[in-house]
Amino acid sequence: MTKSLYIGSSSACFELENTAAYYSGKEYTVTLDGEEVFSGCENVFSLFGLSPETAYEAVIRTGETEEKVTFTTASESCCVSVRDFGARGDGKHEDTAAIQAAINMLPDGGRLVFPAGTYLTFPLSLRSHITIELEKDAVLLGSTERERYPIIPGVANGIPFAGFEGIEEDSYQSLLFGAYVSDIAVVGQGKIDGNGQNGDWWKEFRNFPAKRPRDIFLNRCEDITLHGITVCNSPSWHIHPYFSNRVSILNCLVSAPKISPNTDAIDPESCKDVDIIGCRFSVGDDCIAVKSGKIDMARKYKVPAENHTIRNCLMEFGHGALTLGSELSAGIKNVSVTQCLFRETDRGLRIKTRRGRGKDSIITEVLFDNILMDRVKTPIVINMWYNCVDPDAHSEYVWSREALPVDDRTPHLGHFRFRNMVCTGTEAAACYIDGLPESPIEKVELENIQFTYAEDAKPAVPAMMEFAKPQCRMGLYINNVGEISVSNVRLEGVDGEPLIAQNYETLTTKEFDA
């Protein structure tokens, strides 16, 4: 069966319903009203160049089987080209004023099209009820002149406008900046390129007068769709939904060099109802990091990250493929990560927190299911000793192994389920879970998982914490957890004890083989 994820006025996105991770396992072709328009083997595919308010019939053929899907595209009030407003798209002349004028003047329900070309621009402000379409070979290219990027206040007259890494801080305006807007779609086969490699964004950035911009920043927005586009080379995080609701990121590519600093792909922060489906990531930091702020911001707003669906995604080369934290002081609940493929990331499923995140830093209802990993150094990490980001990250309060008093700074991790996973080429450790002695993780379930170690495995630190030692072909390390359940788990090529469990209340093993 095939279901629709998004039907716009000029594009549509569909998902094959099966149990395979990212790839369907069989190549298929798609014809649209009798004309072949697409072939591939990914579980999520898109159609572009559609006409508004038009009925279509798509046929998906796999071998000798076929399925018909009918759909009707959405209506729109108008469609205009950015070139009608004077944008040149030659990559040399600055097009900021022309593009912003077009965005400002577009009627509600209108679509602004960027034809093929390179549109050199400074930051742009989005407005509600519009669609922006980047056609194939259209590039929205960020200028490298940092001094001309406006600085947006973290808070002005009590109104929040910007933030980064869990704190309301002044930030350079992002390339596409949305604040308090709704009903926006950015679609197409084109590219949003932050151009971070050609400016000074990736150099000495800790000495800048404000936090670096993102390619796309959405502050307190609603009903946002990003479909099909490529987002790349951001000065910092690529896509940052911030206190926003109903955000869909579908069949997008997010990329940056492995050496680029803090270039997370997507970091939804204190957001509700986020869908990230059919996307591919290759970046210099975490591929997806779900966040909910540091303790001061969490106390002020008390907005957790809630209802996130991550499915049929391919994540490559980042530090963590799917991360929760470390800024999660308002809590995270109801996160589902399924049918994903991870390749050559440092860590696979990564939860990171630390003392100081606070009593509202409660993580519950988290499911990781049906996931493939290849050459991931440590597939599963839950780390309550994370030693980065904060000024006191290396303090004794963070690293002390003594059971400290539980107070309003103490985080809490609940129930985590890891099941139906195949991990090949494991290097450092299969699983590294380390809770706090005063606040043990409630429950960890490992079910139907196979770990196979790389023959050429090299030592690496499984989790970022003080005094961490490199490991190589380590088995399951689980410390400070209330309930541990290990069922149908197999380790092939482990060195040393296959299961090192310490400071737990109950341990259940069934069909555990090493």
Which residue numbers are catalytic?
Answer: 285, 319
Q: How deeply is 119 buried, as exposed, middle or buried, from its count of CB atoms within 10 A (0-12, 13-18, 19+)?
A: buried
- Which residue is listed with tokens 């090299």? 458
Environment class of 261 (CB within 10 Å of its CB; exposed 0-12, middle 13-18, buried 19+): middle
CB 216 within 8 A of CB 176: yes
CA distances (Å), origin 440, targets 31, 211, 386: 54, 35, 15
Cα–Cα–Cα angle for 6, 219, 291, rounded to 5 degrees: 85
Residues 6+ apart with CB under 8 A from 131: 8, 9, 10, 76, 110, 111, 112, 184, 185, 186, 187
Residues 6+ apart with CB under 8 A from 319: 285, 286, 345, 346, 347, 350
Amino acid at 17: E
From the list 398, 480, 467, 390, the residue with the least C-alpha distance to 432 is 480
Place of tokens 């779609």: 185
Please name which of 110, 83, 80 lies closest in space to residue 9, comparing C-alpha atoms.
110
